[in-house]
Amino acid sequence: MQFLRQAIAPQLKSVYILLLLLTGLLGCSGVPSALNSINVGFGADVSQISDIEPTRDQDTTVFVRGKVAALVPLVDWLAYQVQDSTGTIWVLTNQRNIQLEDQVLIEGKLRYHSIPVAEQDFGEAYVEEHRQIERIPAH
């Protein structure tokens, strides 16, 4: 049984991520409408994606900079994957101006949703975008 779980887990990871995002959407009452007015300078408090720990702490504010590597349009939302030199993380937003290969700097709340499967946790951290600080369109 352990062999079967190890064999199918990598193929199902994308499905789990999509389920994670959809579950988060169903559990959210809405994206906050007021934008935070913190002025973040270049490099100030920007997290490397590999340093972002999956956590159940719902109040952690993170700043993420990277390239948009994937897009998943949802009904009233957009999920996109941000990639930096250290890794990737999914971002959930209500903005529609994001395109593949754009460079972005965003502020958001770190979220985590557990997806238990066969006594293992396949949950992942993602960011609920609160503010798009910078977007450089792909050329």
Write the DSSP symbol of residue 45: T
- Predicted local distance difference test score (pLDDT) of residue 124: 82
Which of 123, 120, 117 has the alpha carbon at shortest distance from 56? 123
- Predicted local distance difference test score (pLDDT) of residue 115: 81
- Predicted local distance difference test score (pLDDT) of residue 41: 54
- Would the pLDDT of 26 be above 80? no
Which of 134, 57, 123, 46 has the alpha carbon at shortest distance from 90? 123
- Would the pLDDT of 121 be above 90? no
Which of 45, 14, 5 has the alpha carbon at shortest distance from 124? 14
